[in-house]
């Protein structure tokens, strides 16, 4: 009996083989695999290298043909740079021939299931295998997974395949459609847009245009500077009326004392933060170390593959329930020089960890499982340390904070100031990354008089909406689709405000949030007060953070339903709003207009016990007020009128938009003129392509495929039919699309080349590139002949800056920012008159001025291109070159000084400088 275990990567194969026995390493054409014996059975452990198969057209079609839906899975070696994949496919095919039994041991997620299944199907010719599932690569977990295998999850496989196929359908066909439109007007430009990227770019473009159109609104802030450098702000915070603000200021500006009228002191215990799920780890790593979400995931994956942490792509905030498992880990960690003392105390006092509300049926929260035995990179150390401290702090006691809120009166006007301090460090001693504000106030009591040093009034302006960052856009994209699922104004939302749980009408909750902005017909109120709502998670009621509440008017012909329950309660929702239903142990969402009498909804008692409420009646009602929705980034639902209702979420990373040049990331995401042009073109001629509703519907159906609620072929057929219709309409307008797109692209390209304004005629200074040169010239040439020469080498960027000295434009060439004006005062140097001869051709050297300032150049240019700086240092001659007889001179390079031939580059002879040898010897002695 021979068993073949298929892993996702070679490094994991090695870990699994070592855990199961004493393997012998072998290879097939350079591809490693491992053989071992266990319980009389021969075991072969081999691996893929990620996805071994990809999608291509089923037959060779003419260039640019679309639409194409006849596709097939083929070896990923068809992609440039992935030729190595063939070796792994051949190795698995060969090894499968001697195997009687097959195990899949890829990552336990949607992509891992697909990688393993494809390797099994296309390399081994099998459809079924045993499935090893594990959350860490410790020996104990691997052995347990091998001895207690599961089955392949074909729902995950179908969902994974469907996602890849849909991305191909939309990405390839839409990109070809755009490029063919440009070819129709006899131009060429590589263009691309995808199933999710199109709507995402449209959303970002909305924000970009909103920023460009933003008109700031003034407001006034009145502050009081008190004794001991204390600062109080008027309780109104922002005055929108200048007259009112100045009236208050004039009334109190000369006052020299304030009276304490109210003091509120509160103490708060802060529980340890729950162990990490992936999303929280990514946000914390970005917040504390500026490591991007994508890189954090990659680092965590490497730590997992080295058996230092548990599986990273987990959505759970709960550590394993197995105490023995945790104690085994803590007994390892107690030997660590830093974490050891905390691990030891946890073991001694048998401390129990806190856990968050999020759960994952496949994996526990991310936690450490071992101590590094090899050197980690700086970023790996940071991520490991973050996870280690978060894991251990979950076992620790509460931190305690004291808060002091003081109200003072200045001639009848109320001001407020606040202070806070840490009374007990608790878990914060271990996980110290969150910064607590330590604002000490002097001892104060009611009716105390405080000296006022100064009263100030400051005019400020509202700021445009901020651009999104790479981290924040992931959440924000989930919040699109606000216009379909909403609740009526009087719906009661269970919330937690200042540690007090209460029920509040959603319209009042909306008004309570003071930061608001509009997106088309939707108003968004920002939760900047850290109010919590409550959500449903695997039969538990959990606290959850929400970012926004949306408000809008009903759409034309949109209905509102009242759903009534047997206990007399009810909820009112728009026709499309999904309500969570409990059906024979299964949970599913049903839209309000599809609900039936007798269906059971999900609810909770005051003690947070899970119960169901039976629907007694459903009816349409007349309603013409605002409708509201909570935008909850943590869970797919929230509790309204004590019923669990859905809120729509969608997430997609926008890396492709950045790579395509549609968006740039310079700390925040800015849509380029090219990106705006593409979206304006698509919205004008083919709005369905950037319609979020279609994308959202497909995402929901992919989720249903995973849970076997809908068949894969149904979803793919529906998507194909929709896309065919869209592309047929697109083809009819192809030439118009191409003309409009090229017009926008040309304008964008021209704008991108503008360096600044011409000092002579006021025209645009344009960056011009020819095959053999590049320069800046006036757009009004030949009427205006202003031009500036540029160096032949170095990447050029236009930073849109001007020189402080001469007001000429600045360009960034390579790593240097330079003024393009050779006559700039900053470039003028005193030059001593002297005759200089070109060492290369013997002609006279003459003084020239360039973008970097003055220099000497050969008068025989362009035949001789020799140049040298004004203050050239003569090189030290130390001997003759043994290779060509030229002078040996001392040169300076990347790694310090060395000796080289003066006839370089014709002669490339070099040797070490003795000074460097002495230094190296000295370093060696120091190390010894």
Three-state SS at 276: strand
User: Residue 407's CB: how many other CB atoms inside 10 A?
Assistant: 17
pLDDT range class, residue 635, cuts 50, 70, 90: low
> What local confidence, expressed as pLDDT, does residue 371 receive?
96
Residue scoring higher pLDDT (922 or 63): 63
C-alpha distances (whole Å) from 68 to each of 59, 64, 192, 280 are 10, 10, 15, 40
Q: Are 365 and 276 in contact (CB under 8 A)?
A: yes
Q: What is the pLDDT of residues 688-720, one digit of tens each?
A: 777 767 777 887 888 788 888 899 999 999 999
- Domain ranges, ordered by start, for the chain: 2-152, 163-211+654-743, 218-271+401-461, 278-397, 481-646, 758-827, 873-928
Residue scoring higher pLDDT (892 or 804): 804
The residue-averaged pLDDT of 635-654 equals: 61
| Range with the poorest average pLDDT among 32-36, 361-365, 614-618, 892-896 | 892-896
Q: What letter does residue 882 receive in the DSSP assignment?
A: T
Q: Cα–Cα distance between 318 and 358 in angstroms, integer? A: 7
- Give the architecture (CATH level 2) of 278-397: Orthogonal Bundle (1.10)
Task: Output the six-digit token pair for 551.
Answer: 């408000």
Is the pLDDT at 520 greater than 70? The verdict is: no
> What local confidence, expressed as pLDDT, does residue 186 receive?
78
Continuous H helices in 799-884: none
> What local confidence, expressed as pLDDT, does residue 480 receive?
47
> What local confidence, expressed as pLDDT, does residue 914 receive?
67
Three-state SS at 11: helix
| Cβ-proximal residues to 330 (8 Å cutoff; 6+ apart), any chain | 343, 346, 347
Q: Which helix (H) or strand (E) holds 694?
A: helix 692-706
H, E, C per residue of 107-131: CCCHHHHHHHHHHHHHHHCCCCCEE
pLDDT range class, residue 926, cuts 50, 70, 90: very low
Instruction: Determine if the peptide bond prior to 766 is cis (ω within 30°).
Output: no
Q: Which helix (H) or strand (E) holds 570?
A: strand 570-574
Q: Cα–Cα distance between 396 and 68 in angstroms, integer? A: 58
Q: Which of 567-581, 626-640, 703-717 has the highest mean pLDDT?
A: 703-717
> What local confidence, expressed as pLDDT, does residue 7 receive?
96
* CATH C-level class of 481-646: mainly beta
Is the pLDDT at 182 greater than 90? The verdict is: no
DSSP characters for 637-664?
EEEETTEEEE--------HHHHHTTSEE
> What local confidence, expressed as pLDDT, does residue 818 receive?
85
pTM, entire model: 0.59
Three-state SS at 822: coil
The residue-averaged pLDDT of 729-746 equals: 83
| Range with the poorest average pLDDT among 243-247, 596-600, 797-801, 919-923 | 919-923
> What local confidence, expressed as pLDDT, does residue 649 receive?
36
User: Residue 784's CB: how many other CB atoms inside 10 A?
Assistant: 15
| CA torsion angle 793 797 798 801 (round to 10) | -90
The CATH number given to 873-928 is 3.30.65
The CATH number given to 218-271+401-461 is 2.70.20.10
Q: Cα–Cα distance between 190 and 169 in angstroms, integer? A: 18
pLDDT range class, residue 748, cuts 50, 70, 90: confident
Annotated active-site residue in 66, 304, 311, 339: 311
| Cβ-proximal residues to 389 (8 Å cutoff; 6+ apart), any chain | 339, 430, 431, 432, 433
**In terms of C-beta density within 10 A (0-12 exposed, 13-18 middle, 19 or more buried), how is residue 90 classed?**
middle
Q: Cα–Cα distance between 119 and 53 in angstroms, integer? A: 8
pLDDT range class, residue 922, cuts 50, 70, 90: very low
- Provide the percentage of residues in the chain whose pLDDT is more than 90: 41
Q: Is the dihedral of CA 158, 163, 169, 172 positive or negative?
A: negative
Q: Which helix (H) or strand (E) holds 455?
A: strand 449-461
Superfamily of domain 163-211+654-743: Topoisomerase I, domain 2 (1.10.460.10)
> What local confidence, expressed as pLDDT, does residue 482 receive?
30
Three-state SS at 877: strand
Average pLDDT of the chain?
Answer: 85
Q: Cα–Cα distance between 6 and 13 in angstroms, integer? A: 8
Is the pLDDT at 550 greater than 80? The verdict is: no
Rg (CA), the chain: 34
Beta bridge partners of 268: 401
Residue 814 zone, left/alpha/beta (φ > 0; ψ -120 to 50; rest): left
Q: What is the pLDDT of residues 356-367, one digit of tens each?
A: 887 776 789 999
* CATH C-level class of 2-152: alpha beta
Q: Are 461 and 217 in contact (CB under 8 A)?
A: yes
84 tagged catalytic = no
pLDDT range class, residue 190, cuts 50, 70, 90: low
Three-state SS at 744: helix
The residue-averaged pLDDT of 781-800 equals: 86
């Amino acid at each position: 009996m021979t068993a073949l275990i298929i892993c996702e990567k070679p490094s994991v194969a090695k870990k699994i083989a070592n855990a199961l026995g004493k393997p012998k390493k072998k290879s097939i054409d350079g591809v490693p695999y491992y053989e071992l014996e266990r319980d009389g059975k021969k075991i072969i452990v081999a691996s893929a290298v990620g996805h071994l198969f990809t999608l291509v057209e089923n037959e060779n079609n003419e260039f640019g043909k679309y639409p194409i839906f006849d596709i097939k899975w083929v070896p990923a070696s068809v992609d440039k740079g992935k030729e190595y994949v063939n070796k792994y496919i051949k190795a698995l095919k060969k090894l499968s021939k001697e195997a009687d039994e097959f195990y899949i041991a890829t990552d336990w997620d949607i992509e891992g299931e697909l990688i393993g299944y494809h390797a099994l199907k296309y390399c081994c010719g099998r459809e079924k295998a045993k499935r090893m599932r594990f959350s860490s690569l410790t020996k104990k977990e691997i052995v347990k997974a091998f001895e207690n295998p599961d089955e392949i999850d074909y729902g995950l496989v179908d969902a994974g395949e469907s996602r890849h196929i849909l991305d191909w359908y939309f990405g390839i066909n839409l990109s070809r459609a755009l490029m063919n439109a440009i070819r129709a007007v006899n131009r060429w430009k590589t263009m691309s847009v995808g199933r999710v990227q199109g709507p995402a770019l449209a959303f970002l473009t909305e924000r970009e245009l909103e920023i460009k159109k933003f008109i700031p609104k003034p407001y006034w802030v009145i502050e009081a500077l008190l004794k001991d450098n204390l600062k109080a702000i008027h309780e109104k915070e922002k005055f929108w009326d200048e007259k009112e603000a100045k009236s208050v200021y004039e009334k109190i500006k000369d006052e020299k004392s304030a009276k304490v009228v109210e003091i509120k002191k509160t103490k708060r215990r802060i529980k340890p933060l729950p162990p990490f799920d992936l999303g929280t780890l990514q946000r914390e790593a970005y917040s504390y170390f500026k490591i991007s979400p994508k890189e954090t995931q990659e680092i965590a994956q490497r730590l997992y593959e080295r058996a230092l942490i548990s599986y990273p792509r987990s959505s759970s905030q709960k550590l394993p329930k197995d105490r023995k498992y945790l104690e085994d880990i803590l007994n390892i960690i107690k030997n660590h020089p830093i974490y050891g003392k905390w691990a030891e105390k946890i073991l001694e006092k048998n401390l129990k960890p806190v856990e968050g509300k999020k759960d994952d049926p496949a994996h526990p929260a991310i936690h450490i499982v071992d101590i590094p035995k090899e050197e980690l990179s700086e970023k790996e150390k940071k991520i490991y340390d973050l996870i280690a401290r978060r894991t251990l702090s979950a076992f620790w006691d509460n931190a305690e904070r004291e808060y002091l809120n003081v109200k003072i009166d200045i001639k009848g006007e109320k001001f407020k100031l606040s202070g806070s301090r840490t009374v007990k460090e608790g878990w914060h001693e271990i996980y110290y990354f969150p910064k607590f504000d330590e604002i000490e106030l002097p001892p104060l009591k009611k009716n105390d008089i405080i000296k006022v040093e100064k009263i100030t009034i400051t005019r400020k302006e509202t700021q445009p909406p901020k651009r999104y960052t790479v981290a924040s856009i992931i959440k924000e994209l989930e919040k699109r689709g606000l216009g379909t699922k909403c609740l009526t104004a009087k719906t009661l939302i269970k919330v937690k405000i200042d540690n007090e749980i209460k029920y509040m009408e959603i319209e009042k909750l909306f008004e309570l949030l003071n930061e608001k902005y509009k997106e088309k017909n939707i108003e968004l109120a920002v939760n900047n007060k850290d109010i919590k709502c409550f959500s449903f998670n695997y039969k538990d009621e959990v606290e959850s953070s929400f970012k926004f509440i949306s408000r809008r008017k009903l759409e034309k012909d949109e209905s509102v339903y009242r759903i009534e329950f047997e206990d007399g309660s009810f909820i009112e929702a728009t026709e499309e709003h999904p309500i969570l239903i409990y059906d024979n142990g299964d949970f599913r969402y049903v839209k309000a207009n599809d609900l039936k009498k007798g269906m059971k909804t999900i609810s909770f008692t005051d003690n947070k016990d899970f119960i169901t409420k039976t629907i007694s009646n459903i009816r349409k009602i007349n309603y013409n007020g605002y409708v509201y929705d909570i935008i909850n980034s943590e869970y797919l639902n929230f509790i309204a009128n004590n019923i669990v209702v859905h809120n729509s979420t969608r997430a997609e990373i926008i890396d492709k938009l950045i790579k395509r040049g549609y968006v740039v990331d310079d700390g925040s995401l800015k849509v380029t003129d090219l990106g705006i042009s593409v979206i304006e073109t698509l919205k004008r001629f083919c709005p369905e392509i950037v319609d979020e509703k279609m994308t959202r519907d497909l995402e929901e159906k992919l989720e249903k495929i995973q849970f076997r609620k809908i068949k894969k072929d149904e979803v793919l057929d529906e998507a194909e039919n929709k896309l065919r219709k869209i592309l047929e309409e697109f083809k009819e307008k192809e030439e118009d699309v191409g003309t409009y797109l090229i017009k926008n692209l040309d304008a964008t390209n021209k704008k991108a080349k503008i360096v600044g304004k011409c000092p002579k005629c006021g025209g645009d200074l344009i960056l011009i590139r020819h095959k053999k040169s590049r320069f800046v010239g006036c757009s009004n040439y030949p009427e205006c002949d202003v031009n500036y020469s540029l160096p032949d080498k170095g990447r050029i960027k236009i930073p849109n800056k001007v020189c402080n000295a001469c007001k000429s434009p600045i360009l960034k060439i390579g790593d240097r920012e330079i003024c393009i004006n050779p006559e700039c005062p900053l470039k003028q140097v005193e030059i001593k008159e002297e005759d200089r001869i070109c060492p290369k051709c013997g002609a006279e050297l003459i003084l020239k001025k360039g973008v970097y300032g003055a220099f000497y150049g050969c008068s025989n240019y362009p035949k001789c291109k020799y140049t040298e700086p004004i203050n050239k240092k003569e090189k030290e001659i130390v001997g003759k070159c043994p290779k060509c007889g030229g002078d040996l001179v001392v040169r300076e390079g990347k790694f310090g000084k060395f000796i080289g031939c003066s006839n370089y580059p014709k002669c490339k002879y070099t040797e070490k400088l003795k000074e460097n040898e002495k230094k190296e010897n000295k370093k060696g002695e120091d190390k010894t």
